[in-house]
Structure 1
Amino acid sequence: MMTKTTNLSDLRDRLRDLSCGSGRHMVALAGPPGAGKSHVTDAMLADVPAAALVSMDGYHLDDGLLSARGDLPRKGAPWTFDLDGFAVMLDRLAADDGRDVLIPVFDRNLEISRAAARHVPGSARLILVEGNYLLLDSPGWRDLTRHFALTVMLDVPQPVLRARLTARWSHLPADQARAKLEANDLPNMDLVLTGSRAPDLILPNG
Structure 2
Amino acid sequence: MTDPSLIARARALADAGPRQLLGIAGAPGAGKSTLAAGIVAALGDMAALVPMDGFHLAGAELHRLGRQARKGAIDTFDGAGYVALLRRLRFPDDATVYAPEFRREIEEPVAGAVPVPPSVRLVVTEGNYLLVPEHPWDGVRPLLDEVWFLDPGEDVRLRRLTERHVRYGRDLAEATARAYGPDQVNAERIAATAGRADLVLRPGSSVDR
**TM-score, length of structure 2 as denominator length:** 0.89
Say if 2:24 and 2:126, in contact at 8 Å, map to a contact too.
yes
Kindly indicate whether the alpha-carbon contact (under 8 Å) linking 1:154 and 1:205 is maintained by their aligned counterparts in 2. Answer: no
Q: What is the rounded CA distance, in whole Å, between the counterparts of 2:57 and 2:20 in structure 1?
A: 27
1:30 touches 1:154 (CA, 8 Å); kept in 2?
yes
Corresponding residue of 2:125: 129
Q: Residue 17 of structure 2 aligns to which amino acid in structure 1?
A: S
1:147 and 2:132 are equivalent in the alignment: no
In the TM superposition, residue 179 of structure 1 has moved relative to its aligned partner by: 3.7
- Structure 1: unaligned runs, 5 residues or longer: 1-6
Q: Does 1:51 align with 2:39?
A: no
Letter in 1 for 2:129: Y
Deviation at 1:8, TM superposition (A): 2.3
The alpha carbon displacement at 1:196 in A equals: 4.4
Aligned length: 200
Q: What is the aligned partner in structure 2 of residue 32 from structure 1?
A: 27
Aligned mates of 2:16, 2:173 — CA distance in 1: 51
Q: What is the deviation of 1:64?
A: 1.0
Write the mapping of 1:1-206 to structure 2, written as runs, cut at 5 A. 8-49=3-44, 50-170=46-166, 171-204=169-202
**Structure-2 change in CA distance of 1:150 and 1:174 (3 Å):** closer
Higher relative contact order (CA 8 A, sep 6+): 1
Identify unmatched segments of 5+ residues in structure 2: 205-209
TM (norm. structure 1) is 0.90
RMSD of aligned residue pairs (Cα, Å)? 1.8
- The question of whether the paired residues in 1 share the 8 Å contact of 2:158 and 2:180 is answered with no
Q: Deviation digits for residues 25-68 of structure 1, max 9, x if unmatched? A: 00111111001111111110111240111110000001111111
